[in-house]
Structure 1
């Protein structure tokens, strides 16, 4: 890799010029995922700058999620998360009929190996916003299903589903393993035919716990998708709050023009 120089006439501070050059080398493929960046000493000597300047440049790349520091080994180009394209057809009944929950259908389309872990199932009172979305009485409990999704063994998403206990009780929804087709297949087996879904998408920085569970580098944002599932009569059946590693997803919506 050919390193450039710091132009003292440039309005950009030296650390940003160094970060820009290293970023460009990554984008050109001169530094590939898993490659180690030149050491601090090498960068200091080459650019003729202070150690703090080099560290600021590296921190900028870490904040962007492009590199990761490994204690005692150096700074390495980050392996990109598997990109999974979220298509608007992932909740079609044909996937449930084939025994695929939405995540498995997405993974199959994206060509990644799916896995689910950290599954927890509880019965409790829901948060106020979930109670409102599900149109529940003040004292009505819900089944809460929390889990983490991995693609090619990389964590890409956490999800928490809330379902009224009166609907989920007595079904495999209250079990760790919901069986083929997942939650939605079990709902339809219980006589609740799915009619439509509403998704609300926002973006933010992750909490400390979310960063840990999704193994995110500093500065990497998340997508938050809150989905409400309705039956054919318009009754809400489930609220699912998902937190997705932003670099791992492309949201794709096929919207009819008429």
Structure 2
């Protein structure tokens, strides 16, 4: 005989499949009365759905059907390609774009002089109309003349391939769980206590030189990263 919480979980899961993202679920008390079980039993079922990223709880507001989770492979497939694979339309809002001297730390990352120029491009990335990540990319200016003259609302990797005939490979990716800053939370439409995924990724040229470093903050409630044993291609 199935445990009580499993019965609640099965019925709620079926109902959620028919609901739209953002729809609100009844309260724990309402569900407990409806299923004739304790609040603890309902809470256990809801926690299982939260862990499965089927629903999301917002403190003080309630529990809501979550947006379908998106998976990004840790390769050099662009955000645009990832959204296309998920049936979404990708777009980017340029938050800032400029060029400045690299400085000691950035110069060491790229193997260039500290006085050499480096582009910095910060963008808010959307899947359809949902903000999903904030990307801050750095690229050596000497490799990509007039980079800021391109349309930066699409894929940077596509620009590098089409305009500069540069095909990057993934040199490394460092992943960490972080909490967003107040500014990041506001841009992503989440609360400051919503865990996010930080990815610092480096793209390299055929000769091994690092040509791109991007720090990305992904919404932890909507995004998961797939890490596979071997590189499967470009990210």
**TM-score normalised by length of structure 1:** 0.64
| 1:189 Cα deviation from its structure 2 partner | 4.2
**Residue in 2 that maps onto 1:207:** 181
Matched, 1:77 2:66: no
SS in 1 for 2:208: coil
The one of 205, 213, 235 equivalent to 1:231 is 205
Residues 87-142 of structure 1 deviation map (CA, whole Å, 9 limit, x = unaligned): 24553xxxxxxxxxx11110111122222114421112347543332123222221
**Pairwise CA RMSD:** 4.0
**Residue in 1 that maps onto 2:34:** none
Alpha-carbon contact 1:126-1:162 (below 8 Å) kept: no
Matched, 1:150 2:150: no
Q: How many residue pairs were aligned?
A: 210
Which sections of structure 1, spanning at least 5 residues, go unmatched?
5-19, 44-56, 92-101
Matched, 1:252 2:222: no
Distance 2:163 2:133 in 1: 27
The one of 100, 103, 107 equivalent to 2:83 is 107
**Residue in 1 that maps onto 2:139:** 163
**Residue in 1 that maps onto 2:24:** 35
Distance 1:199 1:143 in 2: 20
Alpha-carbon contact 2:170-2:201 (below 8 Å) kept: no
Distance 1:81 1:130, change over 3 A: farther
SS in 2 for 1:223: strand
| 1:176 Cα deviation from its structure 2 partner | 5.3
The one of 236, 243, 249 equivalent to 2:217 is 243
SS in 1 for 2:67: coil
**Residue in 2 that maps onto 1:134:** 110
Alpha-carbon contact 1:158-1:242 (below 8 Å) kept: yes
Which sections of structure 2, spanning at least 5 residues, go unmatched?
32-42
Distance 1:111 1:90 in 2: 19
Distance 1:159 1:38 in 2: 36
Distance 1:230 1:151 in 2: 26
Residues 25-44 of structure 1 deviation map (CA, whole Å, 9 limit, x = unaligned): 9964667652254499x89x
Alpha-carbon contact 1:143-1:168 (below 8 Å) kept: no
Distance 1:215 1:26 in 2: 30
SS in 2 for 1:133: helix
**TM-score normalised by length of structure 2:** 0.70
Deviates more, 1:247-256 or 1:187-196: 187-196
Matched, 1:222 2:211: no
Distance 1:205 1:218 in 2: 6
| 1:162 Cα deviation from its structure 2 partner | 0.5
